[in-house]
Chain A
């Protein structure tokens, strides 16, 4: 991962490698650059001059979106739901993983198997009954409906990862803490959780990204515009301004900023968390 082993100067003959990497890179970057520049153009210019710099830089597309309350509301809704989902998932999973990892009791394997079996339950399969259930409880158009469901489906993987980590912490530490008068919760809260920070970072990344990008669940739960998250808002915005391509491009770019910004800041955690999370499932 890290470029630390790059000390030796690049060997000669890397030119073809660079050529290939650049072609692939263009395939990846061009769509985003097109959107970024397109957002600064008039629609009429967009079709004639897709790649060049704008003749005149039209900032209205971006400023209009930023001046509209709906973009900020969607940003807030997405953030709120992602944060609460993550805290809830990690908190409930950590408590359960602690019990699975450090207590021996009748029924432990049964319950743990139940959770691991949960990995095999694809979310899409349950969406119809979940919708009916949330409607029965009056949780449609309520952020809690999305939060609780996302947390429930996040439990299996989070519990498995945290349990694995908790088990790797030597029993002597727990004995020492108990002798010093620590209760089980005290040990969990003051010693185990701080030690498990890397694992908690991994599962938090999974929960945040999963919630931030979730589309299917908010799509069926939220019908009122005030509850929409960013993905719903983008989809709706495209429908509303179907012919105004430049404006949609500006909206897309602005909606990318939080995710890409988070990625730029915490690249290593994101890559590590997302790949480790997927391969451990």
Chain B
């Protein structure tokens, strides 16, 4: 890639005098650092600040910065809005399902594929593959499969005399969404667990087995505790991802039917782009940000602290 072309020929310059060299050092630092800092300030930091600022205004997104200051009205309106309260409930449901269903499932499959068995490399490759596909491909594919009328899922289930409205019924839309999320993401968590499991010295597992521990006891009292840091990371990623969940929902249901699968990000896009209430939508984005931040700080302070101080496995190590 980058190594094929030759750099400019700067080699033969004589060693500069100390004062010039010191100035040269600062020039180097500035030249190397500035492009990244400028881009970062303009497109990451400034928009964040503007979002926080705009959340205090009534603003349609046009005509320079907002001027119609309304204090915290957007937030009071937000928290008394039924849709937004539902959004938070959906977040709780999806996070709980992820932690108590998807992650244990991923862990079980990882432990399975850690065994010596024929074809495990292929299984791993196949299970991880959906993670590489885009959310849009996944979403469109499953919107066809789960279509209540002629979708493949109902045709299969009708053999057993069972059918579902899947994404079209407010009662089944969240479980259906969760099913698609599991299809797409469990392989990712599985890979993290596999890597974590590989970092556990086999001597520990063997020692337990020599002492007479059964397969389950070995897992429960040796493997699982040693996987702790890995599991805590995977829970962390899962929660942060779910707070910002957008693409899949937008494609699968658009938040419907009657807001039954709406997430905060979907509500925000709805108000920001379809109804041009950018101030109100910014308030939603501020809540998302604060939620992520508070969760991250709290989680790292109280849950992952042990891992950051150096645990048996290295997955918890932060740079």
In angstroms, Cα B281 to Cα A189, docked, is: 45
B37 to chain A, nearest CB (A): 7
Contact of B13 among A92, A163, A183 (CB under 8 A): A183
Per-residue 0/1 for A178-200: is the Cβ within 8 Å of any B Cβ (1 yes, 0 no)?
Answer: 00011111100110011001001
Which residues 45-94 of B have a CB within 8 angstroms of A? 45-48, 50-51, 54, 61
> Interface extent on B, as a size class?
35 or more
A-chain residues with CB within 8 Å of residue B150 when the two chains form the complex: 46-47, 245
A-chain residues with CB within 8 Å of residue B204 when the two chains form the complex: none
Q: Is the CB of A31 within 8 A of B145?
A: yes
Name the residue in B33, B45, B135 with the highest tally of chain A Cβ atoms < 10 Å from its Cβ: B33
Query: Are A181 and B40 CB-contacts (below 8 A) given A14-B118, A121-B48?
Result: no
In angstroms, Cα B272 to Cα A129, docked, is: 10
CB nearest to B268 among chain A residues? A124
B-chain residues with CB within 8 Å of residue A235 when the two chains form the complex: 136, 140, 251
B-chain residues with CB within 8 Å of residue A183 when the two chains form the complex: 10-11, 13
In angstroms, Cα B141 to Cα A259, docked, is: 15
B-chain residues with CB within 8 Å of residue A81 when the two chains form the complex: none
B-chain residues with CB within 8 Å of residue A206 when the two chains form the complex: none
The 6 closest A-B pairs by CB, nearest first: A152-B43, A129-B47, A213-B134, A126-B47, A231-B136, A129-B50
Q: Does A127 contact B (CB under 8 A)?
A: yes
Interface residues of B (CB under 8 A from A): 1-3, 7-8, 10-13, 15, 25-26, 28-29, 31-33, 35-37, 39-40, 42-48, 50-51, 54, 61, 109, 112-113, 115-121, 123, 125-137, 140-145, 150, 152, 155-156, 183, 187-188, 191-192, 194-195, 198, 233, 237, 240, 243-244, 246-247, 250-251, 265, 268-269, 272-273, 278, 281-282, 285-286, 288-289, 292-293, 296, 315, 318-319
Chain A contact surface mostly? helix
In angstroms, Cα B39 to Cα A155, docked, is: 9
Q: Is the CB of A28 within 8 A of B143?
A: no
Q: Does A58 contact B (CB under 8 A)?
A: no
